[in-house]
């Protein structure tokens, strides 16, 4: 076995980090996979996406700007791959009933009032575009600006898409329509400053 001592890459930049940024990819695998499953609603499809993302990231590392957010870069590759595959195959995703992941979402009791299973089912009924913004903004902690850059749309579009996605999700869960639509009328400024929501 060769020495485990890390060698300086011959083509690594002399100044700054000598480390190959690709060594960091491994640390993002759980997040990439979680994002992939959220987008596809399907484990096998998500794993294929992650695999393609790894290969693309590896061979295109020269396009990664050191010092920028690698997670955002990897997520962008993954979602671009997802949408371009979908255009090619015209395949509709996902299949909530066939999703064997259902048991995966059996989590221990939590404080939320909404039944988690219902939530999960409703989530999978959303369009991939809606799931995408909800996961990026609502769950994985990206800012609307970062999300806009990753998706390649305007910040305002991210905001309106996120609020429509939340609204649709609430509808799918059978929450009172009045309650849901009135999300739009709450002191809008307060909501905007609090959660970045902007309703059109």
Partner 1 sequence: MQQVMAVDPKKNRITEQIDENLKLVYEGLLKEQVPDRFKQLLAQLKAKERGE
Q: Which residues bind partner 1 (CB under 8 A)?
A: 22, 25-26, 29-31, 33-34, 37-38, 47, 50-51, 54-55, 58, 104-105, 107, 110-114, 116, 119-120, 123, 134-135, 138-140, 166, 169-170, 175, 179-180, 182-183, 186-187, 190-191, 195, 197
Lookup: tokens for 177: 């329509």
* Closest alpha carbon to 53 in 27, 34, 23, 25: 25
Query: Which is nearer to partner 1, 91 or 194 (by Cβ)?
Result: 194
Nearer to partner 1, 13 or 26 (CB): 26
94 contacts 48 by C-beta, under 8 angstroms:
no
CB neighbourhood size of 111 (10 A): 4
In the bound complex, what is the minimum distance in angstroms from residue 138's beta carbon to partner 1? Answer: 4
Residue with smaller CB distance to partner 1, 58 or 84: 58
State whether residue 2 is helix, strand or coil: coil
Distance CA 116, CA 105 (A): 8
CB closer to partner 1 out of 87 and 112: 112
């Amino acid at each position: 076995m060769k020495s485990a001592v890390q060698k300086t890459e011959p083509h690594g930049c002399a100044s700054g980090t000598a480390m190959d940024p690709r060594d960091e990819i491994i640390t993002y695998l759980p997040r990439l996979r979680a994002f992939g499953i959220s987008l596809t609603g399907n484990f096998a499809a998500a794993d294929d996406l992650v695999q393609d993302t790894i290969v693309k990231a590896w061979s295109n590392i020269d396009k990664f700007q050191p010092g920028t957010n690698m997670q955002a870069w990897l997520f962008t590759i993954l979602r671009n791959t997802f949408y371009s595959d979908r255009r090619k195959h015209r395949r509709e995703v996902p299949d909530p009933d066939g999703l064997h992941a259902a048991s995966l979402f059996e989590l221990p009791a939590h404080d939320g009032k909404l039944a988690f299973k219902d939530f999960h089912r409703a989530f999978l009924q959303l369009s991939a575009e809606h799931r995408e913004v909800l996961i990026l903004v609502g769950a994985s902690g990206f800012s609307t600006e970062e999300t806009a850059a990753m998706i390649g749309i305007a910040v305002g579009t991210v905001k309106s898409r996120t609020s429509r996605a939340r609204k649709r999700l609430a509808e799918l869960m059978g929450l009172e329509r009045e309650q849901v639509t009135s999300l739009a009328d709450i002191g809008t400024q307060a909501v905007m400053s609090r959660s970045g929501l902007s309703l059109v």
